[in-house]
Structure 1
Amino acid sequence: MGKTRARIAIDAMGGDHAPAEIVAGALRARDELGVEVILVGDRHSIEAVLPANTNLGQLEIVPAQGTIEMHEEPLSGIRRKPKASINVAMNLVKQQQADAVVSAGHSGAAMASALLRLGRLSGIDRPAIGAVFPTIVASKQVLILDVGANVDCRPKFLEQFAVMGTVYSKYVLGIPEPKVGLLNIGEEESKGNDLALQAYQLLQANPKVPFVGNAEGRDILSGDFDVIVCDGFAGNVLLKFAEAVGEVLLQILREELPQGLHGQLGVSLLRPNLKRIKQRVDHAEHGGGLLLGVAGICIISHGSSQAPSIFNAIRLAREAVDNEVLERIQGSVAIAEE
């Protein structure tokens, strides 16, 4: 008996380019990935951006009222707007009508809604947002968490992030023996602030964490680590900086390579290479971050996400569902506690 297709609830109203780009990415994922997509939001607005040949009878749209705006405080926003698209999408997962949620809307609201509606996994004190970065090693990525869910962390939180990151790296990213590092200002065990020093001891003592030591800033993209844990403040700064570097690199290539006749000829010859470069450094190719630690699969995409990024976010969600990430994390946490 074959595995059932993943059902993904899409917050169609969340993001700078909603609903047009969100819907376009969702429809592409439905056609190419074989997932069932549930578009959550204002029905009229969604139908207005559908391709002319869309068979509405084969498309599931769940109505919602409004969205959480970026200027709104997350917790008060989701409580004041219970029928907002992100809340309705989360309820679908809670009621087991969907396997996962993808949203490019207010990330704080998505996290707050997930915590209130889905709750935390047993043994997890704080959820973490994990983001995948490219490395200098071709086809190898590194998972960084937390990149924004928790500005202030306790050592125990970082230990839990490492357990969750190990599971994700192993079963979704396909790394049999992931190497886990702790973001720090030096590789020596004695380096860092109190958080880093205490977290180092916990990570070293946890049998469920394949901890290999501290990772300095220059090590992040080296390929020497598969998972790197840090507090959400440092992680979010790192995430935004890495995105900017990728955009700058792509812009420099666009500006410099076509210069002169030789440059124009070179661009045509290098086009396949340039496409692969874009796939490695463009954050849109990774789709967003998985909110690890809540009792449901939730992908938080960039607010500026367009159709390709939404497609990749849905791909991430499907992989997390197919590889039973929630169950594996819960099992690893339970063993670690024993």
Structure 2
Amino acid sequence: MPLDKSELFNMLADALEGRSAKKVKVGLTVHGSEHPPGMLIGAAKEAAKSLDGVEIVLIGAGEEVEGRGIQCVKAGTLEEAHRIMEKMLDGGELDAAVTMHYSFPVGVSTVGRVVTPARGKPVLIATTTGTSSANRVAAMMKNAVYGIIVAKTLGIENPSVGILNVDGSRQVERLLKQLSEQGYEINFAGSMRADGGCIMRGNDLLAGSCDVMVTDTLTGNILVKILSAYTTGGDYEALGWGYGPGIGEDYRRIILILSRASGAPVVEGAIRYAVELVRGNLLKKASEEFEKLRKAGFHELIGELEKTGKPEEKTIVEPPPKKAVTEEIAGIDVLQMEEAVRILWKSGIYAESGMGCTGPVIMVAHEDLKSAVDILKAAGYL
């Protein structure tokens, strides 16, 4: 059927303005917050009203919600909502999703985005949930890369990178500079303090001296909480864009994390953040950056770090047949997660390591949960 004049005019206008005709679909799970579901739904409706070409899918809304650009999918619990969310992402029904209390596999962590109080400048905190590696320095190296990937996706072509002055920062600085010399160009930020350099002080965080602030994940998580809720007393996060998307090599989902304390402004900000990442083609940008990193010897640097301090393995432990892992076992130190997984494999239980919002977890099938807990207790991991 031929297009009428108005349809043709709209298509030409979209092309001239560089707009995509394809709608961006963002899922939002509404279970699990410390605030009422209506708050999240209200934030989604506000985002939908102000964002052109965006549809928000509310996963777990108790009843049909009316509003422009809003769709509802039923889910009785947060766990069910996560299963639906993952299926919709993998099937192309969603481009991105925003959720909370979600466990990423080890190697994936989230890049948060905050407003710095001294200057009002947005800064990416790399990273804020999840864990990139069990080795602290390797994790921070990966965090720096993840922050660069997100910054470039957001349109910052040459993001400035600072390293927060925490344990391991000097080693991270040396290795990132080595990586830069080997061909992966990094634009190191300069501290506002008199001694300069790319090691960032607390003053630099407040003022936004860099585009990407690199730190360990637990420190990053605290920073986002403080900078999101320092005006409210702590129980309601009112500023910023949340804890950000999970980034990792070969990770093919765009899932952004909220805290259970995130208030309506942060929920709306996270939806906007998700739309920016979809339109900036995060997954394509990540693939391009990891290819550059491969050529620059990044994986060899990480491999050497992750070998450090590990005992030689006398035997290779093969995992049992893979199962769907739906249960989490918490309370295991992050540095012992891989050992704990191998202990379960030796006992014939399929397990995976991961990182939930409350810390490291071992994930097993429902029917294996009790046996796995008993084995880990007997081996001294719990």
Find the partner of 1:65 among 76, 93, 97.
76
Change (3 A) 1:220 1:62: same
The answer to which structure has the higher helix fraction is 1
State which of 35, 40, 56 in structure 2 corresponds to 1:17. 35
1:288, CA displacement in angstroms?
0.8
Percent of residue pairs identical: 25
Q: What secondary structure is seen at the aligned counterpart in 1 of 2:232?
A: helix
Higher relative contact order (CA 8 A, sep 6+): 1
Number of the residue aligned with 1:133: 114
Match of 1:241 in 2: 226
2:7 maps to what in 1? none
The match for 1:286 is 240
Is the CA contact (8 Å cut-off) linking 2:225 and 2:237 kept in structure 1? no
Larger displacement relative to structure 2 (142-151 or 175-184): 142-151
Letter of the 2:255 counterpart: C
SS in 2 for 1:145: strand
Report the Cα offset of residue 153 of structure 1: 4.0
Structure 1 residue 101 and structure 2 residue 83: aligned? no
TM-superposed CA distance for 1:199, in Å, is 1.7
The correspondence of residues 3-152 of structure 1 with structure 2, limited to 5 A, is: 3=20, 4-34=22-52, 35-41=54-60, 45-47=62-64, 50=65, 54=66, 59-68=70-79, 84-103=80-99, 105-106=100-101, 110-112=102-104, 115=105, 126-135=107-116, 138-150=119-131
CA distance in 1, matches of 2:269, 2:97: 13
Greater Rg over alpha carbons, structure = 2
Alignment RMSD (CA, Å)? 2.8
TM-score by length of structure 2 reads 0.61
2:27–2:58 Cα contact (<8 Å) kept: yes
What's the counterpart of residue 168 of structure 1?
150
| Corresponding letter in the other structure for 2:171 | Q
Q: Does 1:330 align with 2:330?
A: no
How big is the shift at 1:170?
3.2
Q: Which runs of 5+ in 1 are unaligned?
A: 69-83, 116-124, 186-192, 251-281
Question: Following TM superposition, by how much is the alpha carbon of 1:152 offset from its aligned partner in structure 2, in angstroms?
Answer: 5.1
Aligned residues: 260
The AA in structure 2 aligned to 1:87 is R
Instruction: Indicate if the aligned counterparts of 2:34 and 2:261 stay in contact, CA closer than 8 A.
Output: yes
Could you list the per-position Cα deviations for residues 81-132 of structure 1 after superposition, in whole angstroms to 9, with x for gaps in the alignment?
Answer: xxx11221122111111000111x32xxx133xx4xxxxxxxxx72222222
Q: Which has the higher strand share?
A: 2
Structure 1 residues 178 and 184, CA, compared in 2 at 3 Å: closer, same or farther? same
TM-score using structure 1 length: 0.68
Deviations 1:291-319, CA, capped at 9 Å, x for gaps? 22232211111212343332221111000
> Does the residue aligned with 1:97 lie in a helix, a strand or coil?
coil
CA distance in 2 between counterparts of 1:127 and 1:133 reads: 20
Aligned partners of 1:162 and 1:180 also within 8 Å: yes
